[in-house]
Amino acid sequence: MSASDTKYFNPYTDFGFKKLFGEEGSKDLLQDFLNQLLPEHHQISTLKFKNTEALSEQITDRKAIFDIYCETADGVQFIVEMQKGRVQNFIDRALFYTSFPIREQSKKGQWDFNLMPVYFIGILDFIYDQKPAWRHFRLDVCLKDQYNAVFSDKLHFTFLQMPLFHKQADELETHFDKWIYFLKNLTSFDKIPAILNEPIFKKGFNIADISHLEVSQYEAYNNSLLDYWDVKSVENAAFDSGIEKGLEQGLEQGLEQGLEQGLEQGKFDANLNTVRALKKSGMALKDIAAIIDLNSSEFEALLNAL
């Protein structure tokens, strides 16, 4: 499948995501989307983009390159990441990324360490973990103590596992539902569905319309799409390999377990035949028990099977 096979671009690609949310002309889309994720006291009225490449003060320190890095007029900062495939230590990387906007708030001279909130929004085109805590489409994380009380309201993480969103058009209940439905199904639409026939989404469809891209943008999108497919093919190969390995291990364990069970059953049947023969000959059960080397529970099981 090439870019020309769909009417709208893939928002999971680097090009598509930044075109849809990371440009001045589409800032209102980002603001509307983020406001669906934020509490009432952190709703965004104005938004400005910041440099997506953050570098520590020391030249030997690590740097971070964000998909989208933005800030509200009152200083609340957001990092928005579209993660198309699994990466090692993803949660650690999210923590590392938030350290940059935190450190950036320090001021020269005297400073009282009063921090503005930092939000990390991770949109994941995969299921991160099968553990119970991650078996939800949306996971919100903040700093809490052992009594489940908020320790600090300055650091927030929201992870959206897109494969776990299953609502169809007639099941959408909120504006946020519509946003996720729009992002997840954008490439499958050939026209704007009635449920998304609203100004903010109509603008999104217009931006995502591949026919509206300039030649250089179309080439950039195709390259981004190839990168997306490469990531997905590697991920699928790893998944298939995992299934194959699991089947091999399961077969090996099954054969071993079956052999063990078979031997146990064979021993039981042999003892049962012996008990039957001796009992038929008139031997007392206590004498049979003395001949057969079994504990009382095992011998009782034989008697129950007679």
What confidence tier does 304 reach under pLDDT thresholds 50, 70, 90?
confident
| Residue 234 domain flag | no
Q: Is the pLDDT of residue 55 over 90?
A: no
| Residue 265 domain flag | no
Radius of gyration of the chain, Cα coordinates, nearest whole angstrom? 31
CB under 8 A, 24+ apart: contacts of 207-211: 207/19, 207/20, 207/25, 207/26, 207/29, 208/8, 208/9, 208/11, 208/16, 208/19, 208/20, 209/7, 209/8, 210/3, 210/4, 210/6, 210/7, 210/8, 210/9, 211/7
Most confident of 123-132, 203-212, 222-231: 203-212
Maximum distance among all Cα pairs of the chain, rounded to whole angstroms: 103
Q: Is 151 helix (H, G, I), strand (E, B) or coil?
A: strand
Q: Is 136 helix (H, G, I), strand (E, B) or coil?
A: coil
Asked if residues 107 and 148 have their Cβ atoms less than 8 Å apart, the reply is no
Q: Is the pLDDT of residue 190 over 50?
A: yes
Q: What is the mean pLDDT of residues 65-73?
A: 84
Share of the chain above pLDDT 90, in %: 45
In this prediction the pTM is 0.72
Gap between the Cα atoms of 116 and 104, Å rounded: 11
What confidence tier does 303 reach under pLDDT thresholds 50, 70, 90?
confident
The per-residue pLDDT for range 26-45, each reduced to its tens digit, is 999 999 999 999 888 888 98
| Residue 38 domain flag | yes
Instruction: Give the number of domains in the chain.
Output: 1
- The residue whose two tokens read 């992002």 is 183
The per-residue pLDDT for range 112-135, each reduced to its tens digit, is 888 889 999 999 998 888 788 888
| Residue 146 domain flag | yes
Encoded tokens for 215: 């030649």
Q: Return mean pLDDT, the chain.
A: 82
Gap between the Cα atoms of 259 and 255, Å rounded: 6
Gap between the Cα atoms of 248 and 87, Å rounded: 26
pLDDT of residue 301: 76
| Residue 260 domain flag | no
| Residue 288 domain flag | no
The per-residue pLDDT for range 141-151, each reduced to its tens digit, is 999 999 999 99
Q: What is the mean pLDDT of residues 93-122?
A: 86
Domain residues for 7? Answer: 3-213
Q: What angle do CA 30, 15, 218 make, to 5 degrees?
A: 125
Asked if residues 183 and 10 have their Cβ atoms less than 8 Å apart, the reply is no
| Residue 86 domain flag | yes
> Residue 71: how many CB atoms within 10 A of its CB?
19
Gap between the Cα atoms of 71 and 140, Å rounded: 20
| Residue 219 domain flag | no
